[in-house]
Amino acid sequence: MHIVVCIKQVPDSAQIRVHPVTNTIMRQGVPAIVNPYDLFSLEEALRLKDQHGGRITVITMGPPQAEAALRKCISFGADDAVLVTDRAFAGADTLATSYALSSAIGQIHRTHAVDVVFAGKQTIDGDTAQVGPGVAKRLDLQLLTYVSKIRSLDPTSRMIEVERRAEGGVEVLETKLPCLITMLEGTNEMRFASMDNMFRAARHQVQTWDRIAAGIEDVGKIGLKGSPTVVSKVFAPQPRATRAQIIQADGDAPADLAVTVVARIFTQHPKIAASLGRRAES
């Protein structure tokens, strides 16, 4: 079994601040981490490897410093790491990113056939959730998104059965390998890195591929040239004009307090009062 896990290095959004005057994101000193959603996929890949054996290759497209994110994944138990990095990738949107990644995964597949590709549900910076499905489409893989549980995988019949969180319930899906899976958050808990794996991660030779090594000849499909998306405006959302109010109970009975609160809401928002009044009459 050969599993490829797509991971992205992202700024730790918990530590990002917005400049109070310019409203721009202050990235200085913000640590880079593995996109948290990708770790749910990596853990699931590790569990499949525990059950069925095989290898896990982690891959990222990013600047040279993204190598640190790949090493982190090796410390959790991944076997190989590929960093796809080239100036020609700069300015890539999700279309160009999924093209570059699928081409690189295609190259990996040529030397060691790939059975399952994992991606995170989405990233915490770009947040589009488009790259996984984009890779699946380009590589003609069965696509299983929002997976909450892998029920079974049979390497002999090459069938996989998963539970998928859908609107209003859970779908049980069965399909053939090869497939691409995006795991839902909270579906598992990433294991601790073992001391052995931490040493292995420090020594590991991460493969660094430029666009040629990734099998990309047409520069028109990558980077800014291959990115039709245009960001027309970036802005910080307006702070809310109204703030929460604290209403003292002063020993009022709950029913009296509720009447006071509703009366205040209706006074401040007459449209709500009018709308509810109309509904009550009809």
> Which positions touch ligand FAD (CB under 6 A)?
6-8, 35, 37-38, 60-62, 90-94, 97, 101, 119-120, 122-123, 125-132, 227, 229, 231
Our CB check for ligand FAD shows the closer of 206 and 257 to be: 206
CB of 38 to ligand FAD, least distance (A): 5
Our CB check for ligand FAD shows the closer of 91 and 277 to be: 91
Phi, psi of 243, deg, nearest 5:
-115, 160
CB of 150 to ligand FAD, least distance (A): 17
CB of 86 to ligand FAD, least distance (A): 12
Our CB check for ligand FAD shows the closer of 7 and 184 to be: 7
CB of 178 to ligand FAD, least distance (A): 17
Structure tokens at 94: 């999700």
Our CB check for ligand FAD shows the closer of 75 and 123 to be: 123
Our CB check for ligand FAD shows the closer of 37 and 209 to be: 37
CB of 58 to ligand FAD, least distance (A): 9
Structure tokens at 151: 């029920």
CB 162 within 8 A of CB 150: yes
CB of 135 to ligand FAD, least distance (A): 7
